[in-house]
Homo-oligomer: A and B are copies of this chain.
Amino acid sequence: MSHDRENCSALVDGVVRGDKRALARAISLVESYRPESETLLKVIFAKTGRAYRVGITGPPGAGKSTLASRIARHYGNRGLKVGIIAVDPTSPFTGGALLGDRVRMSDVELDGSVFIRSMASRGSLGGLSVATQDAADVLDAAGFDLILLETVGVGQSELDVVRAADTVIVVLVPESGDSIQAMKAGLMEIADLFVMNKSDRPGADQAATALRTILSLRPNPHSWTPEVLKTTASESQGIDRVCTFIEKHREFQSSNGLLEQRRAARLQEKVKELVIRSLHTEFWNNERRELLEARLPSLCERSTSPYEVVEELLRTFPL
């Protein structure tokens, strides 16, 4: 225990110094959900809150990773410390192995100036969103100025990841119907900025115009209308404007208190996700696991419903 604490304090020192090996180890630790990770996260929490977090999402193939790396390079060139956390299973950062055995690319660096980390989109119970926020906290405590969270914009758990950012960019491509699909997938509600990427393809102007029309018709509770910017990230076209926009959105939110509100909501949400995880772990002790096992035959025979088994289990659980 005290040995653990010593290790942890060495790790914290490494993280705060920005040592890349320590960062990689710390993120692996928070990803593992092991108890030591809590000690680490409690200690570093006081040093977080300075980094600005940008979520980048959109359908597979929209060019999210390319955009992320271009934004990272833009700010890296200006001397900022930038980190990318990728949880997109289709991202080149995230890797993936043949033979069904998932192996993640080890931490790679882009031009040596950007820290890139991929995370597995596994687990449930809000685990993905907690793990990515914890990883972002590690980078935040290490003095990173900008953290980009990249995830594919399909799926509830994945959207929760970017929803926890300070600015959310939704990346689309000009192909017809893409923006309509984005609306269906719940991307419209979370976007602070739309990037119409691959704008060298035909139909980019029409797609951007259609999207602007839709946005102008939408109720706008925060008096912030998301812009639609065209980029060709692979050619580094339009990246400057995207970055200018991120700064504009940051200022807007800082000046009217929205950034604080957003971060408070994120912390509240995180507490709730951690509570769920703890309750789940503590609830399923041996006794309750055995009770469920004992009821399995009657569940399979359909003589007892799952809802009745749940009631029986919860009776052993005073709230």
Residues of A within 8 A of B (CB): 38, 41-42, 45-49, 59-60, 89-90, 94-100, 102, 121-126, 128, 152, 154-158, 160, 180-181, 183-186, 188-189, 214, 217-219, 260, 263-264, 267-268, 270-272, 274-276, 278-280, 282-285, 292, 296, 299-300, 302-303, 305-310, 313-314, 317-319
Contact = CB atoms under 8 A, between A and B. Distances in A.
B302 A180 contact: no
A59 B180 CA distance: 17
A183 B271 contact: no
Contacts of A59: 60
Contact of A45 (B60, B122, B263, B306): B306
Contact of A274 (B41, B90, B296, B310): B310
Contact of A263 (B156, B188, B218, B300): B300
Contacts of A270: 306
Contact of A189 (B94, B95, B100, B310): B100
Contacts of A60: 59-60, 154, 181
Given A41-B305, A124-B157, A125-B276, 4 more contacts: A60-B181, A89-B181, A276-B280, A279-B280
7 contacts: A45-B307, A89-B154, A123-B156, A124-B156, A155-B156, A264-B299, A279-B279
A53 to B, nearest CB: 15
Contacts of A100: 183, 188-189, 218-219
B41 A307 contact: yes
B188 A282 contact: no
Closest 10 CB pairs of A and B: A155-B155, A96-B184, A45-B305, A89-B185, A156-B157, A154-B154, A89-B184, A274-B310, A267-B299, A42-B305
A314 to B, nearest CB: 6
B90 A181 contact: yes
Contacts of A260: 300
Contact of A122 (B42, B124, B156, B275): B156
Contacts of A188: 100
A121 B218 contact: no
A42 B211 CA distance: 46
Nearest to A45: B305
Contact of A98 (B38, B98, B214): B214
Contacts of A299: 264, 267-268, 271
